Structure 1
């Protein structure tokens, strides 16, 4: 019984490892349009990495849930959970950003011969995630809320971009996702939100009151409405709602 939460944590890590394979299995591919233009793409099966990260997030929730349910929390479980999270929600999103930066740079003249230096900022994400996890492990004040955006939330945001890219019909969205400067802004912003000390809500229902549940119900409504209207774009919209609601509620409490 004591090892059940750790088993879930290892399944989280397994999903992260499989997601790495999905992201990095093949590189850029080249084709020609009917007009004779060169088209550079990244592998479409990278969407499976997004699916695997969604499964990893569900498992990550389950390991903590079962640890509390079975009353078997342990220091080993806490450390193991962080090690799994840094792979699934740090390294994998960093590789997703890497692939999109490759694709963005490749659209430019002589982009296929561009320096790797243009791609290295992608790995700010796993570095920021690792820092945030290390700080969380030694901080005893984050029992009912978080300081900085939790790494699973940041990881799921990054994981949504392959799904958005291959399933949207909005050309402006594609244009944004093929702009390296947009990606640099995303990387810097998400990394900052993770390492910051901004107060963020935690998905822990210790008190089942309407006041405590309201922000989560509101986010659920936002997610459902935006998913119906814009598909996978609901993920970044819901992420923004999470950050804004967290900051507004904290100001209200203070």
Structure 2
């Protein structure tokens, strides 16, 4: 019986992702934030439960990736699609492509699937990541869409930033850039400086700017990973 518990939790991740997709199509970006966050919670606890119960399995790994493609790929991409579909301030030179550009949002689940398949086969990513993790990508997009949904009809710069971020984040997910993990093995500051700095910064960003502060936090995470790695190499 206990071997089915982690998989049941994974299915709750998938269920939450499906509801998030439905909420995105209805234009309820606040609900998308809630359901994707719920999916992230289930995504954390399915692996935790598998390790705690000693019932990790190859099937669980595959189910987890399938659920993640929906919850952290399709769901946020659907929100981006709706954002671009309802956009009314396209620059003049992009107007002929205004019915096509929203579909660029679905590059995100495509690269999320590539990222997850690569992660499952890569034994270098046990304690850290190579490329942007799909949950971090999802958190950026749900908070971004929630934060700019009322500004996008009035500001064509939102169009440029959205399309640019789609390309950048898609490539980041399959890049070889080292990204630190939030997993903390020992409760001490030494060795966990970047994790502590990120948590404090994320809290500050959310306190200052609300939900869109999460997007700023993810950008800070990316910068901290890149420049932290560069600094570490220079120091050595």
Q: TM-score, normalised by structure 1?
A: 0.82
Per-residue deviation, residues 69-118 of structure 1 (Å, max 9, x unmatched): 222211111110000000000011111111111122x3459999965322
Q: Which moved more, 1:190-199 or 1:110-119?
A: 110-119
**C-alpha separation between the residues in 2 aligned to 1:58 and 1:13?**
12
- 1:209 CA displacement: 3.6
Q: Report the counterpart of residue 161 of structure 2 in structure 1.
A: 182
Give the TM-score of the pair, scaled to structure 2. Answer: 0.88
Question: What residue number does 1:16 align with?
Answer: 17
Where 1:247 maps in the other structure, the secondary structure is: helix
Residues 176, 182 of structure 1: 8 Å contact kept: no
Deviation at 1:253, TM superposition (A): 4.0
- Unaligned stretches of 5+ residues in structure 1: 26-42
Match of 2:192, SS state, is: helix
Equivalent in the alignment of 2:4 = 3
Residue 90 of structure 2 is aligned to residue 89 of structure 1? no
SS across alignment from 2:33:
helix
Counterpart of 1:33? none
User: Are the equivalent residues in 1 in contact too, given 2:189–2:196 (CA < 8 A)?
Assistant: no
Q: Distance in 2 between matches of 1:201 and 1:245?
A: 9
* SS of the residue 1:196 aligns to: coil
Using the TM superposition, give the Cα deviation of residue 20 of structure 1 relative to its aligned residue in structure 2, in angstroms.
1.1
1:56-205 paired onto structure 2 within 5 Å: 56-104=39-87, 106-108=88-90, 116-165=99-148, 175=154, 179-205=158-184
Partner residue of 2:215 out of 233, 236, 239? 236
Distance 2:154 2:227 in 1: 32
